[in-house]
Amino acid sequence: MNYTSVAFIFIFLPTVLLGLWILKKLRVKNNIISGYLLAASLVFYGWGGIGNLFIVLILSVLNYMVSIKLAGGGRRKYWLAVGIIINLSVLLGYKYTNFAVNSIRSLLSMEQVSLPIPAAPLGLSFFTFLSIAYLADVYRGRVQVQRNAIRYLEYVFFFPKVTMGPITRMETMQGDLCSHQISLDNVYHGMLRFCVGFIKKILLANQVAVVADAVFNAGEAVAMPLAWLGILSYSMQIYLDFSAYSDMAIGLGKIFGVTIIENFNYPYISQSIKEFWRRWHISLSTWFRDYVYIPLGGNKKGTLTTYRNLMVVFFLTGLWHGASWNFIVWGLYFGVFLLLERIGLERLLKKAPTVFRHFYALFVVMIGWVFFRADSLGAGLEYLKCMFGATSGSIENLAILKTLTPQYFFFLGVSFLACTPIAKVVGNKIKAPVVRDILILVLFFLSLCYMAASSYNPFIYTRF
């Protein structure tokens, strides 16, 4: 089920809220509320296929059993290894088997094959990282093991975050799951946050996506201006799309009295790649820091080991996003720039004007997005040629030119502003918050009209 679907907006969410209101009026025990929200979350997840729900449910039960063993005190390293192996085996089996087999066959100049492996369950990558983090935190003593199976499954399947994150750890949610403190104030502000995300997705991300898709799907060399316009549009789209989902997840969590962590902090205002990765997909960055980079030694074991650890993290970051060489190159590309900044580039940047530092960060990030968006590594390289005038692309591509409407350029300008803190600063300065809130509701209603009139456009990170 998609947050921007009629079924979710007009049926699922109102029904769940009504049921929760009734339960609160009846003053039922918190365990019953946990069971109710778990049931709702299972319906939400199972909407995409009962088979996928069954697989993830089995995995969740196995993780629960392993966590109990970890808290038991005996053979703890063994049980942690068992839990990690179980989770990674399922992830690797579903997402990377065909990629590994075909990569080996390509090296051996053999014909590629497609193994009969079904599509991975929705949000499997997020589920895997969530589960590994929980087991590791129980092992380290950072969180108490959740012995209540219903409450543990609620944590795993809580529908605002189950398919696309943020990767919210048990230590953040555990207190809320035990209390479910729901107030009218939280419901009101949670709804507003949800509306903001909905507006960003429908009115902004979906609008600039039209040009991004047209340029990248042209199937031929495009002129340099169109290539740059295409990657600029995609840069706006991917941030607005994913941060919109995070806004909606955080808002929904607040409605139900559950804290979901912030995942973005205006990454496009960064002045270095190091800063960008502190602001972009924060839950993923901190996961790799805490469960890969630091366990490998972090920056405590010498310069060469630090560089190795950085490259391992960004190799895995790329691979996490998809079984394709262009994702791996995308990850390593950022790893190289982080190494360069550590070696001395960061010191040089600090001496440069602020405008130059912003331009540098945006330029590097946009080049990286080419590999992220392209269908293959070869397609990404061809697109870069178009961007830098190394190919004679046409500027008369009718499919692209038809998308360059005044409406598109208006939304592109608004999208650019939405990628900065300007709107937030202006909104906070409004002395009558009700004016701001009414504006959000009006734009939400307009977004609903756009949603009804447009074709289905899923969130980008659904595939991860």
Give catalytic residues, as residue numbers: 321
Helix (H/G/I), strand (E/B), else coil: 116 = coil
**Residue 255 in contact with residue 197, Cβ under 8 Å?**
no
Name beta bridge partners: 394.
222
Which residue has 């709702």 as its token pair?
40
Residues 6 or more apart in contact with residue 329 via CB below 8 angstroms: 318, 371, 377, 380
Q: What is the rounded CA–CA span in Å between residue 399 and residue 129? A: 40
Looking at residue 114, what is its pLDDT? 66
Residue 426: predicted pLDDT: 80
Distance between CA atoms of 374 and 186, rounded to whole angstroms? Answer: 41
The continuous run of DSSP H or E covering 335 comes out as helix 325-340
pLDDT of residue 424: 81
pLDDT at 456: 56
Go through the chain and tell me how many residues it has. Answer: 464
CB 296 within 8 A of CB 309: yes
- The tokens describing 177, both together, are 């799951």
What SS3 state is found at 449?
helix
Please tell me whether the peptide bond between 166 and the residue prior to it is cis, using omega within 30 degrees of 0.
Answer: yes
| Residue 463 Cα distances to 95, 145, 322, angstroms | 11, 31, 8
pLDDT of residue 401: 83
The predicted pLDDT at position 73 comes to 75
* Residue type for position 180: H
pLDDT at 461: 67
Q: What is the CA radius of gyration of the chain?
A: 23
Query: Residue 231 in contact with residue 249, Cβ under 8 Å?
Result: no
DSSP, residue by residue, 213-235: HHHHTS-S-B-HHHHHHHHHHHH
222 phi, psi to nearest 5 deg = -115, 160
How confident is the model at residue 175, as a pLDDT? 85
For 89, other C-beta atoms within 10 Å of its C-beta total: 11
Phi then psi for 140, rounded to 5 degrees?
A: -80, -10
* Single-letter amino acid, residue 205: A
Residue 149: which H helix or E strand, with range?
helix 149-157
Cβ count near 101 (within 10 Å): 16
Distance separating alpha carbons of residues 148 and 277, to the nearest angstrom? 36
Consecutive 10-residue runs of the chain (464 residues): their mean pLDDT?
87 94 88 93 88 91 95 88 95 86 74 71 91 96 93 94 90 86 90 95 93 89 91 96 95 93 95 96 95 92 92 96 92 97 93 95 97 93 91 74 90 93 81 84 92 71 63
